[in-house]
Amino acid sequence: MLLATISLLTAAVARSLRQVGMGGPPNLFYGTDVLVLALVIYDLVSRGRVHPATLWGGAMVVGFKPLLFYAVADTPLWLALADALRV
């Protein structure tokens, strides 16, 4: 649940980073990556190891969003969908 919430925070964190002058595509994901890292550190301190759900979910949060941003964001299909959703 925590990783899903962190995943949803990407847009809000990106807006906040742009306001303080840290905009740009790679920087958009650093805020959520820091939160995932904090969860990994919490697992290590409290359990002595990283929980498998944290490992797999954290890898998805850290790796999937940049992949979508760079692989999908400029495709004609995505741009058409985004244009259709804009009312």
Q: Give CA–CA dist 19/17, Å, rounded.
A: 5
Higher pLDDT, 66 or 24: 66
Q: What are phi and psi of 51, to 5 degrees?
A: -65, 140
Query: How confident is the model at residue 24, as a pLDDT?
Result: 65
Count: domains in the chain? 1
Residue identified by tokens 């306001």 is 19
Query: How confident is the model at residue 57, as a pLDDT?
Result: 94
Segments forming the whole domain that contains residue 43: 2-85
For the entire predicted model, the pTM comes to: 0.74
User: Which tens digit of pLDDT belongs to each residue from 42-55?
Assistant: 999 999 999 999 99
CB 7, CB 65: distance < 8 Å? yes
DSSP state of 1: -
